[in-house]
Amino acid sequence: MPITLPPINRRCFVTGTLSGVVSLLFPSVWGAESVLPSQDVWAFLSDTHIPADRKKNGGKQPINPVEHFIKIRTDILSGEIGRPYGLIVSGDCVYSHGLPEDYKTLLEEFQPFREQGLPVHFAMGNHDNRQAFLNAVAQATGQQTPQTIPSRLHSIVETPKANFFLLDSLEKTNQTPGLFGEEQLQWLSDELDSRRDKPAILVAHHNPDYSRHIIKATVALQDTTPFFELIRERKQVKAYFYGHTHTWQTLRVGGIHMINLPATAWLSNPTQTHAWVLLTLKDNGISLTFRSIDPEHPKHNKVFDFVWR
């Protein structure tokens, strides 16, 4: 079961003519001369930590998560560096305890994306709550509240150049470590085996445990070992995106790109910056354009290229 916020005008998208689609999808921001956004281009965000109260601050060096998110939303919708087809948010969507009122504010703040025709796909972080999130999405989209909540919420977003696998590493709300669990790893294994023909890009919240020398194991993904065994031997897996550490970092494990997304909320240290990335799929890899809310930050607008193994 996915957590997806569909565009408000999806119906128009399905039934409209090409010119009608353009104007309906992008009535004001993208302009009448716009073309349909490419499925090769996506906005990736992490750790938005939106609280119910828009005035609330958070973090060791307190900042206002809603104010920072609005700056990032404005940047994405400006289309200055390209028009994403949709958004992927890699968890810790709300403040701390996954409260229903937090999700109400979260979905209100994401509403402008829906209005501009962009679907938003969310992954669960350790500060999320599955039931509260699904209930809020059902309410916001006029659907029935789900009767049963699966133990993990995972989904696949298929595009012409690659398949995105959204995984769920939430073990217990407001406790730091994460766990995929055997059942989800079996699902991932089966789904990867039936999709060998296209690059697979995996997305979840928790950072892998890199043998304890980068991040302490107690705050990372507890089932890193079986996860790595699973993905290393499936050569279509090219990249794993995650958040959790509120730190931008990239490295390679077994030829797979490990990409730690920056947070939009509070920072892990003052050298980091509130940011998002624009992902562009290529035939043999991806490029990521780093967008800070601080235009003077040294990484702002830098493009990082990753070639597939």
Contacts with Fe ion by CB under 5 A lie at: 47, 92
DSSP 145: P
Q: Which is nearer to Fe ion, 47 or 75 (CB)?
A: 47
For 228, phi then psi, to 5°, come to -65, -40
Q: Which is nearer to Fe ion, 163 or 169 (CB)?
A: 169
Q: Which is nearer to Fe ion, 92 or 209 (CB)?
A: 92
CB of 91 to Fe ion, least distance (A): 7
Structure tokens at 104: 């109400």
CB of 14 to Fe ion, least distance (A): 35
CB of 259 to Fe ion, least distance (A): 16
Please count the CA atoms within 13 angstroms of the CA of 217 that sit on its side-chain side: 6
- Measured between alpha carbons, how far is 6 from 258 in angstroms, rounded to an integer? 28
- Measured between alpha carbons, how far is 138 from 113 in angstroms, rounded to an integer? 17
By CB atoms closer than 10 A (0-12, 13-18, 19+), residue 245 is buried
Q: Which is nearer to Fe ion, 40 or 92 (CB)?
A: 92
| Secondary structure (3-state) at 29 | coil
For 164, phi then psi, to 5°, come to -95, 130
Task: Tally helices (H) and strands (E) across the chain.
Answer: 7, 13
DSSP 176: S
CB of 93 to Fe ion, least distance (A): 9
CB of 57 to Fe ion, least distance (A): 15
Q: Which is nearer to Fe ion, 76 or 124 (CB)?
A: 124
Residue nearest to Fe ion (CB): 92
DSSP 170: B
CB of 224 to Fe ion, least distance (A): 18
Q: Which is nearer to Fe ion, 65 or 199 (CB)?
A: 65
